[in-house]
Amino acid sequence: MDLFIKFLVAAVLAGTPLLFGTAGEIVSEKVGHLNLGVEGMMSIGACAGFMAGYYSDSFLIALIAAALGGALGALVYGVLTVTFMANQNVTGLTLTIFGIGLSNFIGVYALSFSPNGTLKLPEGITAHMRSIHIPGLSDLPIVGELLFSYNPFVYLGVVLAIALSFYLSRTKTGLNVQAIGENPAAADAAGIRVIRWKYINILLGGAICGIGGAYCSMIINSGVWISNCVGGLGWISVALVIFAGWKPANAIYGSLIFGALRVLKYYVPKSYVNVPVAVYDMLPFLITALVLVVSSMHKSKGVNIPASLGLNYYREER
């Protein structure tokens, strides 16, 4: 039982960066823009957040820098695909290569100024990143550990996902945004500012991905800079969007399941199941692939994929 609780806690921690990545990508896909640059935007956010935290020793500044970094990456994507109508697949992929390269490059560059050959976040900021402790609540048996023992990112992620869910399906703006993703020409005719909202959503999505990246660089490796710290989580997030059915609230449990898959190998006793480590590492990707195939088999049954996803909108061609 104790082991199981530990496993769930680890799953939540491993799933959090996926939650940010997935939520960010949903916001972008809702306006019809499939941004394959999630991995890149997360990498930029990881680097911007870490470096800002390293030099300012402020958790808030690190968060803002990460969000701005991710949004900046998204801006490049937005300019190219919304205004210049470039191919979304290629642009997103290039953004990924750019983001990973840039953040590794800056990491190595910053390392060359470090006196001891490593980059470690200062004490002041790591204090903010520790697990919260609410007297009373956090001390409860089981519940305390399961619900009130995480770092601030986890709660931020859940609140964000719920807020986005509300934004997209309960506000007028959100419904307008969804209309853009379904049929931009009709939305335009109805007086919705298509270009403006495309930019806003793409940038917002990038900012959220950037915060997810900061989680990778600041929490996962306990505050020590490591190259390639995002390591494929962005790509899993892109796939998780499908798993979550384009609903931010569903992304919460989706990322929890995938987080669980990622940490499973540490918690399954070898005496029961003796499977090679590589199989565990493969599981999240294998299951994502299966989900993709199975969900495409049942295309007719209520899928929420935005109808104009991947297609650029050229106003003069309505």
Q: Which residues bind other proteins (CB under 8 A)?
A: 34, 36, 76, 79-80, 83-87, 89-91, 93-98, 100-102, 104-105, 107-109, 112, 191, 232, 235, 238-239, 242, 276-279, 281-282, 285-286, 288-289, 292-293, 296-297, 299, 314-316
Provide, rounded to whole angstroms, the least separation between the CB of residue 61 and other proteins: 20
Contact 173, 204 (CB under 8 A): no
DSSP code for 132: P
Provide, rounded to whole angstroms, the least separation between the CB of residue 300 and other proteins: 11
Nearer to other proteins, 107 or 184 (CB): 107
Nearer to other proteins, 128 or 262 (CB): 262
Ramachandran quadrant class, 223 (left: phi over 0; alpha: psi -120 to 50; beta: rest): left
Per the DSSP assignment, residues forming a β-bridge with 120 are 224
Provide, rounded to whole angstroms, the least separation between the CB of residue 37 and other proteins: 10
Burial class of residue 102 in the structure, from the number of CB atoms within 10 Å of its CB (0-12 exposed, 13-18 middle, 19+ buried): middle
Closest CA to 25 of 198, 196, 228, 209: 209
Provide, rounded to whole angstroms, the least separation between the CB of residue 273 and other proteins: 15
Nearer to other proteins, 49 or 107 (CB): 107
Provide, rounded to whole angstroms, the least separation between the CB of residue 98 and other proteins: 3
CA distance 105 to 47: 10
Contact 234, 40 (CB under 8 A): yes
Nearer to other proteins, 125 or 203 (CB): 203
